[in-house]
Structure 1
Amino acid sequence: MRGALGGPRVLLRRLREVMAEPVSAQDRLDKIVVLIAANMVAEVCSVYVLRVDGTLELYATEGLNRTAVHLTVMRIDEGLVGTVAREAEPISLSNAQAHPAFSYRPETGEEIYHSFLGVPILRAGNTLGVLVVQNRAHRSYTEEEIEALQTTAMVLAEIIASGELTAMALPGAEPAARRPLHLKGLSLSEGIGLGHVVLHEPRIEVTKVIADDLPAELKRLDGAVETLRASIDIMLEDEGVARVGEHREILEAYRMFAHDRGWIGRMREAVMTGLTAEGAVERVQSDTRARMLRMTDPYLRERMHDLDDLANRLLRQLTGRAAGSEHARLPDNAVIVARNMSPAALLDYDRTRIRGLVLEEGAATSHLTIVARALGISAVGHMENVVGQVDAGDAVIVDGVSGEVHIRPPADVEAAYVDKVRFRAKRLERYAALRDVPTVTKDGIPIELHLNAGLLVDLPHIEETGATGIGLFRTELQFMIASAFPRTNEQLKLYRSVLDAAGERPVVFRTLDIGGDKVLPYMRAIEEENPALGWRAIRLGLDRPGLLRSQIRALLRAATGRELRLIFPMVSAVDEFDRAHHIVERELTHLRRHGHGLPERVLVGVMLEVPALLFQLDLLFSRVDFASVGSNDLVQFLYAADRGNPRVADRFDALAPAALRALKMIIDKAAEYGKPVTLCGELASRPLEALALAAIGYRKLSVSPASYGPVKAMLLELDLAAASAFVEPLLGLRGEVASLRPQLAAFAEKAGLPL
């Protein structure tokens, strides 16, 4: 290729012809290494493929001994080839044998070759193999040659990733690109889901890599970059984000990346080697991703996601593919894989087809997790780089019980999980058999066990479980899945359906808990540095009384002739409750004046989730009819630990003495005033935590539908007096412990409680 400006482009055209030939994968590789060696005026060209066992196997060569193909195997920490694979960076040497990492393999006959150029074969930043050229002479490879070889490696990456080479491999030595993966993360929602990968923000598959007209490709690239920059400028000019703040700085950094001359320059250079505009974007992003994946600086790794998003936006511009078009192609057994997503984004999918959810981020008490549990979707989070390790359509198993994910599982693993699903189905049958058994502890203490709900799909669970009622109906979910603000009649229809499904059972409706991190798609987002502590829930409702009044009016009309129970979320001061209660009274007066039917009785309560209310309990319980404890927010505010931030969400345990003392303070004060209190946070949905809550005095729990059976089964076997006697002294320990979880687990095991 030295001195031949058309060399790389000629090579790419010839490679395209070879790719189109109806030959075996081995024949195709053999032809490719001959073409590369001839084009680069190299005496040797070799392809090494990374195997599932972590070793590199020589798959094809021109120049080395052909008998070494499939015989030469080296560890990833061995030799120059291993170094290239491990570091995901090119190595160019004029005297390779003098390098300390050089490893002599006598079967290859490579001792007569001195110069060495190796480049990683990358896809989505993951190393699939190594492409090497060698010469007898001591020569230095030019930047143009290194760039051209990296471009050529893209073609090999597609061959390896396609699975073509798997058929020729021995069991246990298959190419790593399609290897089964067993990943461990954090359980977010219990259950087991078997299905196929659907990427929430899928990588754009580049179908045409080799360019026909370089000036036209440069023009396409420049046009797409300009459009990208303009779209970011529009985001920054939006009134909702134009003010100073951390979010503004993030977007400014985002714009800086889009204007980075080095990034744009590398893509233009890649086009000049013979790639299409989209091929150049993919090449540069894969190289950048490979480097950033190997960095330890969390800030720099976070910026990788910005670059991924920018590259995806560019590819969408170039391919004309609209964002979100994957929703229309959801398979019957879909497992959604994403870096992260909002609850509204999950609800956009056809929920009847979703079997699992896998997230690179995600926290056990995030709103997305709550929605996944409500829908009965198995979910696992904290799966680092999982988006880069899967392809759309890959077989996948999500074990939401153990927090494990199996990608492209072997047949025996899949069979084991099929058996596991059958076992879970039998266990569910046992829970179903408890449907009509009263929830009474072993020593005769009745516990009211309610359901948390928020969608019409939840309503059949009331009859299926035999629940005492709905302890929390999250009204905002209807608003989050709608494309426009639901009219009063639409709300009325939903609330009436809920009351009809519940029959004589009580239903507690929580007024809209929107704002902050629960943004409605049709409302302008207000950027806030601390959304969980910001303009949300009752704060938004009191500032926009028309919104709150329309919802309360719909609820009052839906409950005509029946009992209506209302709670207000995120109340921080008794005055807020008084103002919200006044709106209810005004709406009742309005309905009377206009001759509408009225509820038989209206009970108004408050969500206890802001710690300030712990110091207003006397005043509060003298006003409310009942209360509900929102343990998710209460615990995050007690510990100042954002439950949506995976770095801190699980740092503090709700079973710590401090948290349990706060919860006990509430139930003890409620007893003084004779006011019922239900704990409806996710804390009640886990058997061990439900044990602790019952032990400190809670007799009303509201749980997710999937948790109803396990919690009930535990309560039926619980000696509550013994549990209370065990827990009470632990709350008064002078030496504070991080959690009472180990002690409670030991108690449960000794008592033979099903957890």
Structure 2
Amino acid sequence: MRSASGGPRVLLRRLRETMAEQVSAQERLDKIVVLIAANMVAEVCSVYVLRIDNTLELYATEGLNREAVHHTVLSAHEGLVGLVASEATPLNLSDAQSHPAFSFRPETGEEIYHSFLGVPILRAGNTLGVLVVQNRAKRNYVEEELEALQTTAMVLAELIASGELSALAQPGHEPAARHSAQKVGAILSEGIALGHVVLHEPRVVIKDYIAEDLPKEIKRLDTALAKLRADLDRMLERGDVAEGGEHREVLEAYRMFANDQGWSHKLHEAVATGLTAEAAVERVQSDTRARMLRSTDPYLRDRLHDLEDLGYRLMRQLVGQDHAPSREQLPDNAIVIARAMGPAALLDYDRKRLRGIVLEEGTANSHVSIVARALGIPAVGEVPNAPGIADPGDAIIVDGTSGSIYVRPSQEVEAAFAERVRFRARRQAQYLALRDRPCVTKDGQKVELMINAGLAIDLPHIEDTGSAGIGLFRTELQFMVGQSLPRTSDQLALYRTVLDAAGTKPVTFRTLDIGGDKALPYMEAVIEENPALGWRAIRLGLDRPGLLRGQIRALLRAGGGRALRIMFPMISEVAEFDAAKALVERELTYLRQHGHTLPERIDIGTMVEVPALLYQLDELLRKVDFISVGSNDLFQFLYAVDRGNAKVSERFDTMSAPILRALRQIAHKCHTAQKSLSLCGEMASKPIGALALIALGYRSLSLSATALGPVKAMVLDLDAKKAEAMLGPLLDAPAGSVSIRQKLTEFAEAEGLAL
């Protein structure tokens, strides 16, 4: 490398001294570009900072016309600097002016310089600006010079992210790094939350970026890499993995990444430029993330997650942070940001302090979204690079009504949303006033509105909402929040508590619906290509009858002396229901023989969520006491759409003719057989969905507690006969010939129904 001042390590040491000086932000930046130019024997060194208006402003230069500082502004895609920023990749040219992206700016005086080397200033995968060096002579910069400039850009990234440069900006032209930002994603759970950022996987805090002892840093890196690889080797040698299978193949691929020589070489190169081992890992991770986020290849994006996790593990080893901070130690208004999160991870958090959720992944029908809605926690998903958009403690607003989030909002925006929160509170008070009114339509049709629940903390909602009972009690949540399998006595205690809280109101207990994305942390994970269609729910229960029998025994004992309703999930054929019911009969015999008090009445039913049951309803209805439609799974199976896949989850409309015809068929057969019918999917939680269901003949709906008020308000103003007369002909018309959702909306407007 050409250098007049001792190479990158000397440069980093001098930069650290400059960063510590008590000088103004502009003086500091001016000194930095002089140091870089001198160290790299460059005639020009310039720093461009990305502004909130998505333009790049020249903030400092050595070699160009200094009068251009804060006057030269490029669009985010303009010129060579814009190309570096938009692509987030370095650009090394021997003759810059011959490049098609070159943009001539006469005020800078750069026309006499030919060679050009520009690198993005990156932090957490986000582009904060561009660092450029130039020379008159036509030449390509060597690899060592590129490495040195990238390393220096890391230091500048921390300077920009600190907010120090904001003092140099005109109003409306502040650096984007620490200013207000709006991001748009997908609505997962409605509501509005104001709070402060908590990262689900907290970033490792790097205190020292510049190495004091290079051999020591290389040794630290090698030691951490060796430990990381050894940990993976031990995982692969475990008995449950060593025998092979898909799960071993996944871990083998993971180990391959950890042993990749290219990754290791990049880490060592970064250390060689003068960085500490942990700073080197962060730089390589940030470069990789910025590059792969721009890829449209889903395979590469999945591999990014593997590489990020490896880098995260490596950094934690280097700085000695073995565990993330306790999730009970949250601020009072925590907004959790994560790349992805399962329902069990969500339930780990203190719900009294958790205000909202922001996810990079996740769709409206994923289980974490369903749990968030059940808890009344606003959530937005599909936010690109979610963990990188804010720092811990940043103010943030989650708007679950529009799918927007506001990071570091202005006082005006914060005040506007605070007023919206107060308005929603007033509206909830109006719904509360309806609590004790009978849920009857204008034409006298009684509609049962029940709540979905899963834990003891949900039970006050029975009284708070005035619900008719619990239409779906998700028993698996008790299993998901614990660190070990709940004992039968623990299950018995919970079920008794639930029945006591409900009093004379009915409670429908769904037996364990685990598997798929609802994995238990203390059970061996089963890797399946299609988990939604795999070993889950009743399939797992029948294959592990000891687990299901223990739960059934606890339910029967809890229901002693009172009415009990048990429902089996994921039944796909009548024989499965027969087998599950036989376990109930077996446990009844056992309890009777041992002198236990039995339930006064037992109703045993099933969920209809597998399309195959639509063609077995006549046989099934002769055996069940009731049916509950699980619309979430039924809809995704009918359309062969993975509800957890954002690319396809919105490809069908729950108000489409095929779905509504299937629901009408179920209702007709249940009414003919005089069997109780309800629906407990997310469709019931939307007023427009409830409107369609009532028009189809459904008179019992189970929904999230937060949705009961709006749905009840709609029901009280509804003429069910009119709705039925309107919807019937639409379903008989050729599918796709009319938008049923639009017609339902028009009907609601004409009838004065609030949707």
TM-score where L is the length of structure 1: 0.96
Aligned to 1:70: 70
Aligned to 1:322: 322
Q: Distance in 2 between matches of 1:747 and 1:249?
A: 54
**2:60 corresponds to which letter in structure 1?**
A
**1:192 corresponds to which letter in structure 2?**
I
Q: In 1, are the aligned partners of 2:6 and 2:39 still within 8 Å (CA)? A: no
**1:23 corresponds to which letter in structure 2?**
V
- Equivalences for 1:499-538 in 2 at 5 Å? 499-538=499-538
Q: Give 1:247 shift.
A: 5.4
Aligned to 1:567: 567
Relative to structure 1, the CA distance from residue 102 to residue 326 in structure 2 (aligned partners, 3 Å threshold; closer, same or farther) is farther
Q: In 2, are the aligned partners of 1:452 and 1:680 still within 8 Å (CA)? A: yes
Q: In 1, are the aligned partners of 2:445 and 2:720 still within 8 Å (CA)? A: yes
Q: In 1, are the aligned partners of 2:440 and 2:715 still within 8 Å (CA)? A: yes
**1:315 corresponds to which letter in structure 2?**
M
Q: In 2, are the aligned partners of 1:240 and 1:527 still within 8 Å (CA)? A: no
Q: Give 1:738 shift.
A: 8.6
Q: Alpha-carbon deviations, 1:263-302, whole Å to 9, x = none? A: 2111111111111111111111211222222223232233
Q: Give 1:77 shift.
A: 2.5
> Aligned pair 1:387/2:372, yes or no?
no
Q: Name the SS for the 1:390 alignment partner.
A: coil
Relative to structure 1, the CA distance from residue 499 to residue 735 in structure 2 (aligned partners, 3 Å threshold; closer, same or farther) is closer
Q: Alpha-carbon deviations, 1:87-116, whole Å to 9, x = none? A: 222223333344443333333333343332
Aligned to 1:217: 217
Aligned to 1:253: 253
Relative to structure 1, the CA distance from residue 293 to residue 734 in structure 2 (aligned partners, 3 Å threshold; closer, same or farther) is same
**2:571 corresponds to which letter in structure 1?**
V
Q: Distance in 1 between matches of 2:243 and 2:739?
A: 42
Q: Alpha-carbon deviations, 1:665-707, whole Å to 9, x = none? A: 1111111121111111111111101111110110000110010
Q: Distance in 1 between matches of 2:740 and 2:232?
A: 49
**1:560 corresponds to which letter in structure 2?**
G
Q: Alpha-carbon deviations, 1:524-557, whole Å to 9, x = none? A: 1222222212222122222222211211121122
Relative to structure 1, the CA distance from residue 241 to residue 750 in structure 2 (aligned partners, 3 Å threshold; closer, same or farther) is farther
**1:94 corresponds to which letter in structure 2?**
S
**2:31 corresponds to which letter in structure 1?**
K
> Aligned pair 1:617/2:617, yes or no?
yes
Q: Give 1:395 shift.
A: 1.4
Relative to structure 1, the CA distance from residue 647 to residue 78 in structure 2 (aligned partners, 3 Å threshold; closer, same or farther) is closer
Relative to structure 1, the CA distance from residue 147 to residue 752 in structure 2 (aligned partners, 3 Å threshold; closer, same or farther) is same
Q: Name the SS for the 2:308 alignment partner.
A: helix
Q: Give 1:721 shift.
A: 0.7
Q: In 1, are the aligned partners of 2:120 and 2:129 still within 8 Å (CA)? A: yes
Q: Distance in 1 between matches of 2:539 and 2:302?
A: 32
Q: In 2, are the aligned partners of 1:200 and 1:336 still within 8 Å (CA)? A: yes
Relative to structure 1, the CA distance from residue 683 to residue 236 in structure 2 (aligned partners, 3 Å threshold; closer, same or farther) is farther
Q: Give 1:741 shift.
A: 1.5
Q: Give 1:141 shift.
A: 2.2
- Equivalences for 1:91-490 in 2 at 5 Å? 91-238=91-238, 240=240, 249-325=249-325, 327=327, 329-490=329-490
Q: Name the SS for the 1:352 alignment partner.
A: coil
Q: Alpha-carbon deviations, 1:323-369, whole Å to 9, x = none? A: 43252542211111112111101111111111111111112121111
- Equivalences for 1:577-596 in 2 at 5 Å? 577-596=577-596
Relative to structure 1, the CA distance from residue 751 to residue 235 in structure 2 (aligned partners, 3 Å threshold; closer, same or farther) is farther
Name whichever of 403-412 and 691-700 sits farther off.
403-412
Q: Name the SS for the 2:709 alignment partner.
A: helix
Q: Give 1:521 shift.
A: 0.9
Q: Name the SS for the 2:131 alignment partner.
A: strand
Aligned to 2:747: 747
Aligned to 1:18: 18
Q: In 1, are the aligned partners of 2:473 and 2:509 still within 8 Å (CA)? A: yes
Q: Name the SS for the 1:204 alignment partner.
A: coil
Q: In 1, are the aligned partners of 2:695 and 2:724 still within 8 Å (CA)? A: yes
Q: Distance in 2 between matches of 1:235 and 1:512?
A: 29
Q: Give 1:52 shift.
A: 0.7
Q: Give 1:617 shift.
A: 1.3
Q: Distance in 1 between matches of 2:365 and 2:242?
A: 31
Q: Distance in 1 between matches of 2:9 and 2:632?
A: 59
Q: Distance in 2 between matches of 1:550 and 1:602?
A: 17
Q: Distance in 2 between matches of 1:579 and 1:87?
A: 59
Q: Name the SS for the 2:436 alignment partner.
A: coil
Q: Distance in 2 between matches of 1:394 and 1:172?
A: 20
Q: Distance in 2 between matches of 1:735 and 1:555?
A: 44
Q: Give 1:750 shift.
A: 2.0
Aligned to 1:27: 27
Q: Give 1:628 shift.
A: 1.1
Q: Distance in 1 between matches of 2:5 and 2:214?
A: 13
Q: Give 1:120 shift.
A: 1.3
Relative to structure 1, the CA distance from residue 95 to residue 386 in structure 2 (aligned partners, 3 Å threshold; closer, same or farther) is same
Q: Give 1:250 shift.
A: 4.3
Relative to structure 1, the CA distance from residue 50 to residue 732 in structure 2 (aligned partners, 3 Å threshold; closer, same or farther) is same
TM-score where L is the length of structure 2: 0.96
Aligned to 1:729: 729
Q: Name the SS for the 1:218 alignment partner.
A: helix
Name whichever of 699-708 and 292-301 sits farther off.
292-301
Relative to structure 1, the CA distance from residue 532 to residue 253 in structure 2 (aligned partners, 3 Å threshold; closer, same or farther) is same
Q: Which runs of 5+ in 2 are unaligned?
A: none
Q: Give 1:202 shift.
A: 2.6
Aligned to 1:664: 664
Q: Alpha-carbon deviations, 1:51-103, whole Å to 9, x = none? A: 11111111112223333221222222322222222222222333334444333
Q: Give 1:733 shift.
A: 1.7
Q: Distance in 2 between matches of 1:739 and 1:544?
A: 45
Q: Give 1:453 shift.
A: 0.5
Q: In 2, are the aligned partners of 1:245 and 1:529 still within 8 Å (CA)? A: no
Q: Give 1:484 shift.
A: 1.1
Name whichever of 609-618 and 501-510 sits farther off.
609-618
**1:331 corresponds to which letter in structure 2?**
P
User: What is the aligned-residue identity percentage?
Assistant: 68
**2:394 corresponds to which letter in structure 1?**
D
The root-mean-square deviation of aligned C-alpha atoms, in Å, is: 1.9
Q: Alpha-carbon deviations, 1:462-491, whole Å to 9, x = none? A: 111110111110011011001111112211
Q: Distance in 2 between matches of 1:371 and 1:160?
A: 38
Relative to structure 1, the CA distance from residue 534 to residue 97 in structure 2 (aligned partners, 3 Å threshold; closer, same or farther) is closer
Q: Alpha-carbon deviations, 1:2-53, whole Å to 9, x = none? A: 1569411011111111222232222221221121122112232221111111
Aligned residues: 755
Q: Distance in 2 between matches of 1:272 and 1:291?
A: 22
Q: Name the SS for the 1:325 alignment partner.
A: coil
Relative to structure 1, the CA distance from residue 695 to residue 480 in structure 2 (aligned partners, 3 Å threshold; closer, same or farther) is same
Q: In 2, are the aligned partners of 1:657 and 1:737 still within 8 Å (CA)? A: no
Q: Give 1:238 shift.
A: 4.6
Q: Distance in 2 between matches of 1:99 and 1:534?
A: 54
Q: Distance in 1 between matches of 2:179 and 2:275?
A: 29
Q: In 2, are the aligned partners of 1:186 and 1:382 still within 8 Å (CA)? A: yes
Q: Alpha-carbon deviations, 1:292-320, whole Å to 9, x = none? A: 22223232233222222221121112112
Q: Give 1:740 shift.
A: 2.1
**2:538 corresponds to which letter in structure 1?**
I
Q: In 1, are the aligned partners of 2:192 and 2:378 still within 8 Å (CA)? A: yes
Q: Name the SS for the 1:647 alignment partner.
A: coil
Name whichever of 27-36 and 236-245 sits farther off.
236-245
Q: Which runs of 5+ in 1 are unaligned?
A: none
Name whichever of 698-707 and 318-327 sits farther off.
318-327
Aligned to 2:713: 713
Q: In 2, are the aligned partners of 1:562 and 1:601 still within 8 Å (CA)? A: yes
Q: Name the SS for the 2:327 alignment partner.
A: helix
Relative to structure 1, the CA distance from residue 329 to residue 137 in structure 2 (aligned partners, 3 Å threshold; closer, same or farther) is farther
**2:233 corresponds to which letter in structure 1?**
D
Relative to structure 1, the CA distance from residue 738 to residue 200 in structure 2 (aligned partners, 3 Å threshold; closer, same or farther) is farther
**1:538 corresponds to which letter in structure 2?**
I
Aligned to 1:649: 649
Q: Distance in 1 between matches of 2:509 and 2:142?
A: 70
Q: Distance in 2 between matches of 1:100 and 1:616?
A: 67
